[in-house]
Amino acid sequence: MSAVAAQPASKPFGYRDRIGYALGDMGNDFSFILASAFLMIFYTNVLDVKAAEVGTLLLIVRLGDAFVDITIGRLVDRSKLRASGRFRPWIARFGIPVALASALMYFFGAAGLGQGAKVVYILVTYALWSILYSAINIPYGSMAAVITPDPVHRSSLSVFRTFGAFLAQLVIVFTVPLVIFTKDAHGKTQVVGHAFFWVGVVAAVVSVIAYFGCYRMSTERVQIPTVAGSKAPGIGKTLAHVFKNRSMQAIIAAALLLLIAMMMISNMTSYLWVIYFNNGQMQSTAATLALLPTLLLLPVATPLARRYGKREVSTIAVGGAGVVYILLYLVNLQHQPWGFIVATIVAGLGLGVFNMLIWAFITDVIDDHEVTSGERADGVVYSVYSWARKVGQALAFGLGGWALGWIGYQAGTTSQSSSTVKGIYMLMTLVPGVLFVLVAVVLLVWYPLSRKVVLDNAATLNQRHQQTAMLAQASAATPIATTTSH
């Protein structure tokens, strides 16, 4: 069997690792958040492609990612263990390619192509970015389980990962609307097509810097020794164990619901401010203030998880956020944008807690899979979870595009009917609100990893890993690697 064992590292776990891990998600989100918030409106209002067609195209690519993610997860698990670790080299290898692919998605010259050529352009560039993003995101996400075996330390990594995403989101949501939106002589909000590409280029440069910061500052302390004569289970058997695991089933369901809700909000935000409130540039102020809960929660998220448990805290938090969004739908705030902003900040307190801890959930699932199956499969387990998130994103893009068509949205213009304007507000509030409540139900009823279970699993694996490490040393088949200083 293969298992993990904590190895002595050149540096103890500390803020260097936390900051380095935060930089990794900052690198990810300079392309991911940019795409989540502005790619749909680029396709519909710059390339002039129907929203329903865009949704279908992105859904096709994301569903195809199932094979890509699981393949990459298996490759990561079986990649050579180097002095720098098993996961970090992937970040260095794919940091530049994924950043270039991200910028390529926003090439404004594609607006001059025929409709068929535009469809090909969207499919090719989006698929390229998606594949390369998987090649860096899966090893990055899996790496949290090997930076430290301590559940509390992993919670802090999850919090710092969220902080890295927060910094990227802060820069993007504050600056990008000021660049890509303007008003004409009649006071109507317009989209500046060529600005998207240069925003993408700048984001790509910053992304590469962040990736290499992550590579240099993080340390893999948990190594995977191989016992002589051992043989890893086949991918079919591994996937069967993964999908039979109750904690994995529940976290996939929660991830699907959460991502559909979050991506629906992200996709609809630009339409909300440009059309519902007729003030595209105010999106910058609203999105920046919406990040305030993240700053407020940074010092308390890890202590809350340590004291009460991740599942327990997150259930209450995300359920409360859902209630706020449902109440928002019941109130007409079209002429009170500041009231809308305040309400979303309140909801953000609940969502912020869950989003800060969500990445620690998957490391707990990785441990639970090993406890129940006897196999350590960081990359495969994370890749399945990553694919579930991508399906959620794809469904959100697809549903968002189709829903815009259902409510009568006309591509290429900001002038819409009153029913379309009301429909945009419904997609921004009621739909995600109901989904957030369903996430809370899944965590409460289905997800089994309470605080006690997580601590019991950690103790079980610690004992098992020590025994495996002694067997590996006795066999002398493959020496246990140690981590060098960076």
Amino acid, single-letter form, for residue 228: A
Structure tokens at 342: 């305040």
| pLDDT (mean) for 385-408 | 74
* Distance between first and last Cα of the chain: 30
| pLDDT (mean) for 289-304 | 79
Does the pLDDT value for residue 59 go beyond 80?
Answer: no
Does the pLDDT value for residue 434 go beyond 90?
Answer: yes
**Cα distances (Å, whole numbers) of residue 370 to 245, 329, 484:** 10, 43, 27
Secondary structure class of 398 (helix, strand, coil)? helix
DSSP string, 173-185: HHHHHHHHEEE-T
In this predicted structure, what is the pLDDT of residue 118? 92
Q: ∠ CA 34-36-39 to the nearest 5 degrees?
A: 75
Please list, in sequence order, all residues whose beta carbon lies within 8 angstroms of the beta carbon of residue 96, skipping any fewer than 6 positions away.
208
Amino acid, single-letter form, for residue 115: Q
Does the pLDDT value for residue 400 go beyond 90?
Answer: no
In this predicted structure, what is the pLDDT of residue 475? 61
Least confident of 115-119, 265-269, 451-455: 265-269
Alpha-carbon gap, residue 369 to 92, rounded angstroms: 28
**Cα distances (Å, whole numbers) of residue 148 to 6, 160, 362:** 8, 14, 14
Secondary structure class of 226 (helix, strand, coil)? strand
Does the pLDDT value for residue 268 go beyond 50?
Answer: yes
Dihedral sign for Cα atoms in the order 302, 307, 312, 313: negative
Please list, in sequence order, all residues whose beta carbon lies within 8 angstroms of the beta carbon of residue 150, skipping any fewer than 6 positions away.
13, 458
**Cα distances (Å, whole numbers) of residue 201 to 107, 168, 256:** 10, 15, 30
Q: Name the H helices within 446-479.
A: 451-475
Which helix (H) or strand (E) segment is 5 a member of?
strand 5-6
Q: b/e per residue, 264-273, with b = 16+ CB within 10 A?
A: bbbbbbbbbb
Structure tokens at 116: 């068929």
Which helix (H) or strand (E) segment is 418 a member of?
helix 418-445
Q: Count of alpha carbons within 13 Å of 104, Cβ hemisphere only?
A: 17
Query: How would you classify the pairing of strands 181-183 and 189-191?
Result: antiparallel
Selected residue with higher pLDDT from 453 and 294: 453
Least confident of 94-98, 200-204, 266-270: 266-270
Q: Within a 10 A sphere around the Cβ of 474, how many other Cβ atoms? A: 10
Phi–psi pair at 191, nearest 5 degrees: -105, 135
Locate tokens 């579930």: which residue?
388
Q: Which domains does the chain have, with CATH numbers?
A: 5-475 (1.20.1250.20)
| pLDDT (mean) for 105-118 | 90
Cβ contact 419:408 at 8 Å? yes
Cβ contact 72:135 at 8 Å? yes
pLDDT tens, position by position, 225-256: 544 444 555 666 666 777 788 988 898 898 88
In this predicted structure, what is the pLDDT of residue 235? 62
Does the pLDDT value for residue 262 go beyond 50?
Answer: yes
Angle between helices 246-271 and 418-445 (to 10 degrees): 160
The model's confidence at residue 6, banded by pLDDT at 50, 70 and 90, is very low
SS3 track for 68-108: HHHHHHHHHHHCCCECCECCHHHHHHHHHHHHHHHHHCCCH
In this predicted structure, what is the pLDDT of residue 414? 64
Q: Which of 346, 358, 356, 355 is nearest to 292 (CA)?
A: 346
Please list, in sequence order, all residues whose beta carbon lies within 8 angstroms of the beta carbon of residue 362, skipping any fewer than 6 positions away.
141, 144, 251, 381, 382, 385
Q: b/e per residue, 367-379, with b = 16+ CB within 10 A?
A: bbbbbebebbbbb
DSSP assigned state of 276: I
Q: Which of 128, 119, 103 is nearest to 56 (CA)?
A: 119
Judging by beta carbons within 10 Å of its beta carbon (0-12, 13-18, 19+), is residue 14 exposed, middle or buried? exposed
Structure tokens at 419: 């029913």
Angle between helices 15-45 and 151-180 (to 10 degrees): 40
Q: b/e per residue, 99-127, with b = 16+ CB within 10 A?
A: bbbbbbbbbbebeeeeeeebbebbeebbb
Please list, in sequence order, all residues whose beta carbon lies within 8 angstroms of the beta carbon of residue 240, skipping any fewer than 6 positions away.
none
| pLDDT (mean) for 339-348 | 90
Does the pLDDT value for residue 481 go beyond 50?
Answer: no
Cβ contact 149:4 at 8 Å? yes
In this predicted structure, what is the pLDDT of residue 329? 92
